[in-house]
Amino acid sequence: MAFDNSKQAPASGGDNAASAPDDRPVRPKRPKKLARAEIAEIFRRLRDANPEPRSELEYVNPFTLLVAVALSAQATDVGVNKATRPLFQSVDTPEKMVALGEDRLREAIRTIGLYRNKAKNVIALSQALIDKHGGAVPADRAALEALPGVGRKTANVVLNVAFGQPTIAVDTHIFRVANRTGLAEGKTPLDVELGLERIVPAEYRLHAHHWLILHGRYICKARKPECPRCPIADICRYEPKTTPEEMKTARTT
């Protein structure tokens, strides 16, 4: 169906006033929902840009990964790494963590936000791993979520990174990217997670959450997405796209 985008000029000078056409090009509207081929192309380009994405959290085994992810809530990976790098050199098992104790752990991670409650949870989850799992980190979502301080996102990261399961851990970056691009719109992280699980092609599922996190962290930023250097800008449904001029202004303010 064609739409008439012409604007009528205000009547002046009698009944013979002519219409003033609008010569600006009309941008064709695309369906809000991404097509299957567009979704596959998004992940193909993200893969080409970073074929083997890795977690930016530092860890030495599944246990230290679990601890690092639990500590990263409302904190940056850089901040967590700074605190855990010396810690994990000597404390890399649940048994050693329990032996360290809550007071000394609290001192080790005091630069991380909410460190008091996080220290309490890490000691408790370490004890639970000893009591219920023989000191091993379980490769099971329900078992992980039953640990103190471990939610669905943390469990998904551990399952994906430590055990190679194709889970999608929705953090603030993925939530933003999925909604902006049109990949998976949702009002809650779980809505977005389930939406992504339905649409991400199987060949991209294992690394999908890392690609989306890194894309949100370094390109599709919260305050000002860097659309001019985005590899999927022509497919993304976000409008209006950030211009190069706006990016320059954002860097200088």
Query: Which residues are marked as active site?
Result: 153, 171
Distance of alpha carbon 209 from alpha carbon 158, whole angstroms: 12
3-state secondary structure of 7: strand
Structure tokens of 230? 């985005």
- Residue 179, CA distances (Å) to 132, 186, 191, 202, 239 in order: 39, 7, 11, 21, 12
Q: Within the chain, how many helices (H) and strands (E) appear?
A: 12, 0
Distance of alpha carbon 110 from alpha carbon 89, whole angstroms: 17
Residue 106 burial (10 A CB sphere; 0-12, 13-18, 19+): middle
Here the contacts of 116-122 (C-beta below 8 Å, separation 24 or greater) are 117/149, 118/70, 118/71, 118/73, 118/149, 120/148, 121/70, 121/148, 121/149, 122/67, 122/70, 122/71, 122/97, 122/149
